[in-house]
Structure 1
Amino acid sequence: MANLLKVTTSRFRWHSLWRKVHLYLALTVGFFFVLLGLTGSVNVFHWELEELSLPALETRESPKAGLPLNAVMANLHQAHPQRQGRWLLFMPGYEREYVWAIYPHPEETRDVFFAPLRVQLDPGSGKLVAEHFWGETLGTLIYSLHASLLTGIIWDRDMGLIGFQTVTFLGLFLLISAAIGLYLWWPRTGTFLKAMRFQRQGRVTRTHFELHRLVGFYGSVILLVLAFTGFSFGYYDYLKPLVAAFSPVEAKHFKDPEGLKSTPVPGTQPITIEQAVAIANQVFPNAELRWLATPEGPEGVYAIEKRQPGEANQRRPRSKVWVEQYSGEVLAVEDPNKFTAGETFFNLMWPLHNGQAFGFPGRLLWCLVGFVPLTLYITGLTLWLRKRRVRRLARHKGMAATVGGLWL
């Protein structure tokens, strides 16, 4: 009996401690959780929402083969003859109907943390339809609010980086808060199924408590995933040694292998963009073209991303080929089917963060979970304010009784 009482007392003390930590996290950074959740919900469908303002395509057929890529580049160079650096092309067919051409570092926004030029082209003809700089549309403002609290648009590159690191570090706080919430919810043995059901009560306060408890429980698993993956984007260098201790990590997401370059040959013209894609098709014949980058200057190389069946990354897959721009030689190949366990772990961070790893149902679910922090914030704050008011009233009554006793 004494041991049972000791265990119960210890459990109560830990429960009380973690409840306070959970409360203080909510009061200090809870609003940012709400902000990131709501903006994240919108960002799940970022590309589709960005295309809502564009005119309807003349044909709805998805030109998976035979995209006029040479015409696309010719039209881009004609419209922007001064932009001779690297262009990034996002293919239609996943989240998009248009070809999206991105010029990463335009002169006009060189001092901004992230403000590329984005051009939309018709996938049937390669003609330009619209263009804008990042930050000029509502969709890009929402995305920047989620990624860096708008610091990259309002201030310079250094402040943008600080904003990005701050947002990703908030993922650690969200991870802790969600884990504590799950611990506080966890029922005693024999009451697990009952704890997973909504307990109908007539009182408003009890209803708020039940909403807070159940929404937190059912959303906690995805919130933990979102929190950790978000943290990993800004603190990859800290996580890599921990993961590498169990499995090697060499492949780098969004980065070209070091030392790749083309050798200009006098009198030799670079191969066309469609020829480069045809060479990549020989490496991954059963994969779908998703993204490519043109060479960066005379010594640059083509980088071509394709998606093999089963890849979790839909938007930016990792079946990648680097091609020499004059000879057409394949300089390097990246195949996610040959990744180590550690490389696969990091490769899953993006598709797990935006839900694309589970297709459209996953994206829709992730969008809905973005409203979980708002629900938890409102119900939790309501419960805390009511409890605070009750304690204040009780304290005033106690003081009144004391004062009255002095006069008796």
Structure 2
Amino acid sequence: MANKLQRRHLSILFLAKNLRKFWLNLHLMLALSVGFVFVIFGLTGSFNIFYYELNELGLPAIKQSSQDLRSLDDVMQTVKTANPQRNGGWAIVLPGYLSDYLWIEYPKPEETQDELFAPLEILVNPYTSEIIDQHFWGQTLFSLIYELHADFMMGKIGKEVGEQAFKVVCFFGVFLFISCLSGLYLWWPLTGKFKQALSIKPDASRERYYFDLHKITGFYSSVLLLILAFTGFAFSYKDYVTPLVSVFSSIEKDHLKNPPLKSEVLDSVSPISIAQAVAIADQVFPGAELRGVNTPDGKEGVYMVAKRQAGEANRKRPRSKVWIDQYSGAVLAVQDPNQFTAGETFMNILWPLHDGQILGLTGRILWCLVGFAPLILYVTGILRWLQKRRVADKKLAKERRLG
């Protein structure tokens, strides 16, 4: 009986040793093959969290005067006068969160029509309607950093190439997820000495310092890195994520997409103003904060007014939306996050989870700091690997001399 127990104990130890060796090799393989890509994603992601603020660096400070903000109709008149050749719809993002300026985008300019995503971005002083800056996406340093993060800048080559690159970038979330899980498994102290596993040994050698720094950085950043990996994967592979979430809560197909709507063209009727469209949306979501307006794209286009109700996780581009006929002012569709199922709510917060908006400024700062974790993990991991290789090489050389 004692021999059986002993053999079983030895078998368990053997399996545990081999399992640990498997995860160690997998963790090392991912680090050596795609670890540097994680570094790029982490650093660029940290910049992207403050995309609006960074793009406004160096621009004149907005001096709030006693006068009211200029009406959006006046602002758009200024913008259209400066861009008379652009007759399509415009997207207006209001200041007050992440930015001091009005951000006005023309989604599909002719100059960049061959690129995956390259809208014209115009920054307007909300108090004077003065255009302060105007550029195409990808022509500023921070938009290039953003595009590097999103599709390795392949979107500039062409739409199809950019779409495939975006899918590849999102799929890297799988590798990051596995790397984090394997790292946690390897970190877990079998001796139960968690305090030692969560600290840097004082007066340790340089090699031990790198090892401890790798462990604690991996542990403390692991939860957020797992969230970033999952949400990043989900952006391009929702068809795989949605069925899984639907097991727990229903998700209406295409519920989170913009509905295909058209205005009923009335030649004898002038389109309503932006102010009128906003007033109609105010009746649907009274008291909610106005965050954005999309103007009609062509004669059959519709207004889309975005407002933020209390508690919405996405503060810059919220989901409380109203689509309005540009002639009659009729409400054509409404999207209300308070009416979402639990599954739809989960899918809706993927973006605020990815950029830290879900926790406001505190979350954004924390997410930004975690973006540097892959760099620390990569450098300390490589140094640890090289140190172990040097030890192994010395041992092998010694054995050869003795042999």
1:135 lines up with 2:138 in the alignment: yes
Q: Which of the residues 12, 18, 27 maps onto 1:7? A: 12
- Mapped to 1, the partners of 2:22 and 2:311 lie a distance apart of 45
Question: Counterpart in 2 of 1:84?
Answer: 87
Deviation at 1:201, TM superposition (A): 4.2
Amino acid corresponding to residue 269 of structure 1 in structure 2: S
Deviation sequence 1:276-315 (CA, Å, 0-9, x none): 0111011111211111111111111101111111111111
Amino acid corresponding to residue 72 of structure 1 in structure 2: V
Q: Which of the residues 17, 37, 50 maps onto 1:45? A: 50
Q: Which of the residues 178, 183, 203 maps onto 1:176? A: 178
Q: Secondary structure at the residue paired with 2:98?
A: coil
- Mapped to 1, the partners of 2:32 and 2:183 lie a distance apart of 14
| Alpha-carbon distance change, 384 to 376 in structure 1, aligned in 2, over 3 angstroms | same
Deviation sequence 1:72-126 (CA, Å, 0-9, x none): 1111111111111110001000000000100011001111111110001111122
Q: Which of the residues 90, 94, 97 maps onto 2:97? A: 94
Question: Counterpart in 2 of 1:188?
Answer: 190
Amino acid corresponding to residue 380 of structure 2 in structure 1: T
What CA RMSD, in Å, does the superposition of the two structures yield over aligned residues? Answer: 1.6
Could you list the runs of 5+ residues in structure 2 that have no partner in the other structure?
none
- Mapped to 1, the partners of 2:222 and 2:324 lie a distance apart of 44
Question: Counterpart in 1 of 2:315?
Answer: 314
- Mapped to 1, the partners of 2:149 and 2:66 lie a distance apart of 33
Question: Counterpart in 2 of 1:282?
Answer: 283
Question: Counterpart in 1 of 2:23?
Answer: 18
Q: Which of the residues 232, 235, 249 maps onto 2:234? A: 232
Tell me if structure 2 keeps the 8 A contact 1:62–1:92.
Answer: no
Q: What pairs up with 1:262-301 in 2 under 5 angstroms?
A: 262-301=263-302
1:107 lines up with 2:107 in the alignment: no
Q: Secondary structure at the residue paired with 2:389?
A: helix
- Mapped to 1, the partners of 2:309 and 2:67 lie a distance apart of 18
Question: Counterpart in 2 of 1:59?
Answer: 64
- Mapped to 1, the partners of 2:65 and 2:396 lie a distance apart of 69
Q: Which of the residues 164, 172, 178 maps onto 2:166? A: 164
Deviation at 1:253, TM superposition (A): 7.5
- Mapped to 1, the partners of 2:66 and 2:319 lie a distance apart of 26
Question: Counterpart in 2 of 1:256?
Answer: 258
What is the aligned residue count? 398
- Mapped to 2, the partners of 1:233 and 1:122 lie a distance apart of 33
Deviation at 1:252, TM superposition (A): 4.4
Deviation at 1:167, TM superposition (A): 0.8
Deviation at 1:191, TM superposition (A): 2.5
State, as a whole percentage, how many aligned pairs show the same letter. Answer: 51
Q: Secondary structure at the residue paired with 1:237?
A: helix
Deviation at 1:61, TM superposition (A): 7.8
Amino acid corresponding to residue 47 of structure 1 in structure 2: Y
Question: Counterpart in 1 of 2:220?
Answer: 218
Amino acid corresponding to residue 244 of structure 2 in structure 1: L
Tell me if structure 2 keeps the 8 A contact 1:171–1:230.
Answer: yes
Amino acid corresponding to residue 170 of structure 1 in structure 2: F
Tell me if structure 2 keeps the 8 A contact 1:62–1:93.
Answer: no
- Mapped to 1, the partners of 2:209 and 2:196 lie a distance apart of 16
Amino acid corresponding to residue 96 of structure 2 in structure 1: G
Deviation sequence 1:290-344 (CA, Å, 0-9, x none): 1111111111110111111111111111111111101111111111011011111
| Alpha-carbon distance change, 362 to 315 in structure 1, aligned in 2, over 3 angstroms | same
- Mapped to 1, the partners of 2:70 and 2:17 lie a distance apart of 65
1:330 lines up with 2:335 in the alignment: no
Q: Secondary structure at the residue paired with 1:52?
A: coil
| Alpha-carbon distance change, 325 to 253 in structure 1, aligned in 2, over 3 angstroms | same
- Mapped to 1, the partners of 2:368 and 2:277 lie a distance apart of 37
- Mapped to 1, the partners of 2:279 and 2:394 lie a distance apart of 76
Q: TM-score, normalised by structure 1?
A: 0.94
Tell me if structure 2 keeps the 8 A contact 1:305–1:317.
Answer: yes
Tell me if structure 1 keeps the 8 A contact 2:198–2:215.
Answer: no
- Mapped to 2, the partners of 1:77 and 1:298 lie a distance apart of 16
Question: Counterpart in 1 of 2:126?
Answer: 123
Q: Secondary structure at the residue paired with 1:97?
A: coil
1:387 lines up with 2:365 in the alignment: no
- Mapped to 1, the partners of 2:211 and 2:226 lie a distance apart of 21
Question: Counterpart in 1 of 2:306?
Answer: 305
Could you list the runs of 5+ residues in structure 1 that have no partner in the other structure?
403-408
